[in-house]
Structure 1
Amino acid sequence: MIGVSTYLESKASWGVWELPAALLPVGYPRLVQGAGGIAAMLPPDDPSYADEVVARLDGVVIAGGPDVEPARYGAEREERTGPAARERDAWELALIEAALTSGTPLLGICRGMQLLNVALGGTLVQHMEGHAEAVGVFGTHEVKPVPGTLYESIAPAASAVPAYHHQAVDRLGRGLVVSAYAADGTPEAVELPSADWVLGVQWHPEMGDDLRVMAALVGAARG
């Protein structure tokens, strides 16, 4: 059972309805299912419930989404940083802390990788170019694994990945190491060697057909 955090939108449309919604692009549950897991959506909730929620799961995925509020890492908001998603920030930081404390396998995707870094005291670059094709259009670029890392054991060779982000890891959080880079030197994966299984990837595996990262999470969750 793999829990996946969700968006929280003030207005979403489907059929005849236009209502507030907790939602998740279908690529996430399909990726979990394709890797042999069962997907459970984790909409934002009271952070005090995070320990109890994670205790019922075998693995946790922090999904992509809006920019992390800069105040979370001691920075002023820059002009091109998006609006704050405070409920998501608080809930997902609590999920990360609960997973780290309990030893539950944890995967951060895009925003999820950035939030993992922030949770461990790291900082972010608030704007960069070249890692999205256009507004609302995923780009593709190559990432190269760092030898000897967890990520390198999952994907031993350089591979092309779907990406859409304008922020990135700056100062690494406590204990984290970079385990993959883009050609321009941007950290594309980070991991926590002191933990059983903690990995963040800057790209969006749910937008492609490479199951290796999610399959590794599901395998760790089964273990």
Structure 2
Amino acid sequence: MNASPASPAAPVPGPRPVVGISCYTDDAAWGVWEQRAALLPQGYVDGVTRAGGAAVLLPPQPETDSAARIVAGLDALVLAGGPDIDPARYGASPHPRTGPPHPERDAWELALARAALDRDVPVLGVCRGLQLLNVACGGTLRQHLPEGSHQRVPARFVRRTVRVRPGTRLAGVLGAGAEVSCYHHQAVDRLGAGLLPTAWADDGTVEAAEADASLGHRHVLGVQWHPETDLTDLRLFASLVTAARKETAV
């Protein structure tokens, strides 16, 4: 199978829809300061803005009740990559290689995801974001893949070709397949309600999932790879912005 060539995907024309992006809280240093900060790799913001959206960061917050009100003011949502989800969220005990829990972020992003699904706000999940979508829909995760298969060395992405399911939203964006940048040691196990697997690695690992078209969602798509690391190919961000603009026009 030949991977589809990358496309710069020119920005979607028209007013910029507001795209919320979930992000980290972590210790950071800048200038003379070293403080707790809300953080996000710049590639996410650049991906959204270059595709024609206006990016707004959504750091974890203790009151998850506000997530629905925030999502109501968005035109689309990106669930960004990050640490492992607490296995208790999907009824499992932690694997020895599962990272420490981040309860505030898990609760916040699950609330964002469920609010977006309830309101039919377009969603793109990236790496952890795909896994979070799956958990939000009642699915489970494989907590540790074979060593070196999808995460070979720290902070280095694995380039691999994924096979895309024909007739899906993802196929409409990427074609039959694509070369992508992976960095993950966990993956989707049992799919959540209403989700379909739409891309696989050569070892059978699910690399993407989307909402079943019969459910009528405008755009619910999660990928296990990191499109924000290769902004020569904006197709996934452009697809989200296009769906967001349709949402804005309704």
TM-score by length of 2: 0.87
Which residue in the other structure is 2:175 paired with? Answer: 156
1:187-202 to structure 2, matched below 5 A, reads 187-193=206-212, 194=215, 195-202=217-224
Quick check: 2:166–2:176 contact (8 Å CA) kept in 1?
no
Q: 2:153 aligns with which of 119, 134, 141?
A: 134
TM-superposed deviation, 1:15: 1.9
Q: 2 CA distance for matches of 1:96 and 1:62?
A: 8
Letter in 2 for 1:52: R
Structure 2 unaligned residues grouped into runs of 5+? 1-17
Which residue in the other structure is 2:57 paired with? Answer: 41
State the aligned residue count. 222
Q: 2 CA distance for matches of 1:158 and 1:217?
A: 19
Which residue in the other structure is 1:30 paired with? Answer: 46
Q: Does 1:2 align with 2:34?
A: no
Q: 1 CA distance for matches of 2:100 and 2:150?
A: 20
Which residue in the other structure is 1:143 paired with? Answer: 162
Q: Does 1:211 align with 2:234?
A: yes
Q: 1:91 aligns with which of 96, 108, 123?
A: 108
TM-superposed deviation, 1:99: 0.3
Letter in 2 for 1:220: A
Q: 2 CA distance for matches of 1:145 and 1:100?
A: 23
Which residue in the other structure is 2:96 paired with? Answer: 79
Deviations along 1:71-110, one digit per CA (max 9) or x if unpaired, are 0000001110001111110000000011001010011100
Q: 2 CA distance for matches of 1:86 and 1:22?
A: 16
Structure with max Cα Rg = 2
SS at the partner of 2:65?
helix
TM-superposed deviation, 1:159: 1.1
Question: What's the RMSD between the two structures over aligned residues?
Answer: 0.8
SS at the partner of 1:47?
coil
Quick check: 2:24–2:39 contact (8 Å CA) kept in 1?
yes
Quick check: 2:198–2:209 contact (8 Å CA) kept in 1?
yes
Q: 1:109 aligns with which of 119, 123, 126?
A: 126
TM-superposed deviation, 1:157: 2.7
Which residue in the other structure is 2:13 paired with? Answer: none
Structure 1 unaligned residues grouped into runs of 5+? none
Structure 1 runs of 4+ with >4 Å offset? none
Which residue in the other structure is 2:193 paired with? Answer: 174
Larger RCO (CA under 8 A, 6+ residues apart): 2
